[in-house]
Chain A
């Protein structure tokens, strides 16, 4: 099937070339970081994780979200999702690869990465995260490829793949739970030390991931004419609405616990994120308020059937939902964990140009993988008459 990427319109290869350019730029800055060290980031002794780890966290959610198509399709035999499922699985592959790259670029000694396997340490959540992410990548590669192959030959997928599909449902929950455990088990980081972290992560993943998938599917429809199916879009929108509702609710629970208990350690990070410290506002404050407003607006627009099923409005709603969840998880999560720092002082962190460029390069790698995989999937569908 891989030969499908060799035959396509000029515009497809122009797009790949653009991505190649962005990837080269990111790679060059990464080389610089490799030689100079992480000094070219704005990370510090007090804020030791930042943009890279935040993107990793967000993208684990995107990867896990494929389950929102797989679960209804295979557990509830919801046939309308069958057409789109391959897009979700292939998006999960791109997302997991990006996760792994964001981990690698965050490392001070990336050439020693195999130490994690050479000296396996089950008490470290990082070890488990590597295990579940690698497993999830393999699962999606195998499932995606085998089911697409079957579709190409216009036969039912082999029976044995069912086992892996069911496994992938539980596995998807596990990858984001383990990612939350990276944070939620650390003593002394108040913003992270919350039992609801994994649940929050999953809720945020199950609204933002399908939202990104839908946005990309709309784009795909414009470019190639691929119709994901009206029912599928409506059902997925409903899933997004519920997940976003739960996501906002969970954040409200955090706010309640912090501010009703009035325990300073619980309040400090949220106060810092939303209103700064000692009368000084931080750059992240405006972002957090934006996220809060966009989250509520998108939730409202997704909750009301009239606005949710409005095809003109839906892309806009999804876009602000994605932005809101990205700010919450891709910025606030990490900054809130390190602000205030362990000395109850504020050390400001804002991603450097180098970090952003390297990050952009990784997102371009993700887009490249996604473009190639989706090209294969759509061409196979075209031939098989399931387009």
Chain B
């Protein structure tokens, strides 16, 4: 079975955001595999362990994203592909590049994260599925593959939907799908010898026009900081009564 995982490298979720010169500053920031993509990588490795095959991890991003791909290789993925090209700018371009790469592969299963914790737009995986003509199931919390079909459970705003889908298909991972493993030391050593390719638009047979951005950033800002309010004094019963009074009379929220 040929499994492909769409990956993105993101800021660690504990990082504060600093805006410098109209962009998000990256100095000293800890980068991680997007947490949702980590579930996708883990799931692909588990499915490979069960059914055999290969896991290829693919990312569109700057050269630093190679580190995230190496982490996935150390977890147990077999091959990595980094598509690094400055001409790719928005979700339209990213999905076109991924679809150009994946369209030339024999995919059985494509996995990705539910969304990335940086941009959070949640577009790329579903766009890729559509461009490849694959059915997709988003926000998957359980995945069972058998005989060219998959049964997936997905989280839809708290409801659980069970879908059966014919492969090839694309799935996006939601929390709860699995518990991602940590790369082992032998895994990290082995990762260094695994195939790692870097591609640009030309390698994919795409032109700048093919990925021309449909949207562009106009400005970037930080939200106003919240100020600490007040602590309510008194015994618990008094505090509870005071809080309800404040919500009604001061905050006008009831």
Partners in one complex: no
Chain A interface residues (CB < 8 Å from chain B):
none
Chain B interface residues (CB < 8 Å from chain A):
none
